Amino acid sequence: MSVLWVAFCGGESQQTDKDGSVTPAAAAGWTVVTSPKVTGIGAWRCNANGSHATAPYVAVGYFAASTPIGAWEAQAVLSGSPSNAFCLAGENTDSALALECGTDGKLRLVRLGTGAARWTGRTALTGWSATALATDDSTFKHLFFSSDPLTLGATHSWVALLIDGVEQWTVDVGSLTAQYVYCVPNIGSVNSGVSVTLDDIFGMIGTDAGDAPHLVPWPVGEVYNSYPKSNLSQSWTASGGGAGSFSEWDETSAHDSDTTYNKATTTNKFQTSYGQTAADLGISGHTVILNGVAGYAPALLFWHRIVSGVGTKFNGWTTCQNATDVQVSQPPTSYTATGVLLERTSGSWSISDVGSWYGLKTEASAHDNEWRCTKEQVHWPVYIDTVQAATTPRLPISQVYVI
């Protein structure tokens, strides 16, 4: 089994410009909320009013014409009953596949039209799901939307939807055009009259035929963030009145700028802290979902700035136990969020790594600006449950033989 994530997002950062390993490409209509949510400290909310972003997330999911097998999954809830059907997931391109959400919250697969008629010219490929999304702005349903271009052979692709682990429909869509799967893309400027809240969003792929969703269980992803909780090093200069410890980093849901921060002068400095453990987060029995490319898994996020903006050189690094240091570029003079994926130096990430130390460091030889950090956290893509399609793929008529 080689199911791997390609992107994840959980609303944990409470910042609209960075969250997990996913960056909103256009944030119109999107906010981060602390309620409703499924896990962690927040979720993403989209006001699907027809002026929201066309493609707010970068490569959350990916459906390919051949390999790999693809899946987009998320926890979703509606704020009310939609006044108009709208696109819940898909890509705003000609003839792409999309999940349509009806006025009763049920979902079906459609193929978009072309040009200005992409939405109005859509064609239904399945009936409506038996299960509907909740409209109480509280009860999340887990969606698992997958494509399998391998099991049925060339020019066939099996597409399925499961809601809370129950298969709703499956269909052979024939040849599949490669496409990304975006969350609530604005197709046709439809005003649905509701907001959609999504949590624990994952795009995943399987790299061989043995990864087909009817053969092996796929992870039901969750996103948790670890805050600093205890000192490992106090080598950074305190912001004033502190000991240069982790307490100089803000540990609340949103950074507080220069209220609590560490600052570095032009000498070698580093600041690290142990993070919250799996036991602290209540996820001791979970498994870390691996990207699989050189051992990447968690994402380290930090909010930083330089003071004057007049320096000619800058050299900042992230540093983390069991992970390779990552060089970061010079930030602007106002606080900005930066995220890096952490590559394990050897072996694979495990739940025991949650709580490992992490931080930042500078080099005097390549640093002539005061660098400040006000907040750090690590996002962990994990799972404890799995989902598996309940039936085998339906063979198309051309592959059914009567003896």
The one-digit pLDDT tens for each residue of the chain (403 residues) are 578 898 899 988 888 778 888 777 778 999 989 999 999 989 999 999 999 998 877 768 889 888 899 999 999 999 999 999 999 999 999 999 999 999 999 999 999 999 999 999 999 999 999 999 999 999 999 999 999 999 988 888 999 999 999 999 999 999 888 999 999 999 999 999 999 999 999 999 998 899 999 999 999 999 999 999 888 888 888 876 667 778 888 887 788 888 888 887 667 788 899 999 999 999 999 999 998 777 899 999 999 998 887 677 788 899 999 999 999 988 999 999 999 999 999 989 999 999 999 999 887 676 777 888 999 999 999 999 999 988 888 765 554 444 4
Contact between 150 and 159 under an 8 Å Cβ cutoff? The reply is no
Q: Are residues 239 and 211 in the same domain?
A: no
Half-sphere exposure of 325 (CA within 13 A, CB side): 12
Give phi and psi for 222, each to the nearest 5.
Answer: -135, 150
Domain of 53, CATH number, reads: 2.60.120.200
Q: Are residues 377 and 233 in the same domain?
A: yes
Q: Are residues 363 and 304 in the same domain?
A: yes
- Identity (one letter) of the amino acid at 295? G
392 within a domain of the structure (yes/no): no
Q: Are residues 311 and 176 in the same domain?
A: no
Q: Are residues 366 and 247 in the same domain?
A: yes
107 within a domain of the structure (yes/no): yes
394 within a domain of the structure (yes/no): no
252 within a domain of the structure (yes/no): yes
Q: Are residues 56 and 116 in the same domain?
A: yes
Q: Are residues 292 and 192 in the same domain?
A: no
Write down which residue in 217, 249, 268 finishes a domain: 217
> Whole domain around residue 258: which residue ranges?
227-385
Q: Are residues 47 and 90 in the same domain?
A: yes
Indicate the pTM of the whole model. 0.93
Domain of 372, CATH number, reads: 2.60.120
Half-sphere exposure of 291 (CA within 13 A, CB side): 16
Q: Are residues 27 and 136 in the same domain?
A: yes
The total number of structural domains that make up the chain = 2
Give phi and psi for 77, each to the nearest 5.
Answer: -150, 150
Q: Are residues 213 and 241 in the same domain?
A: no
Q: Are residues 169 and 270 in the same domain?
A: no
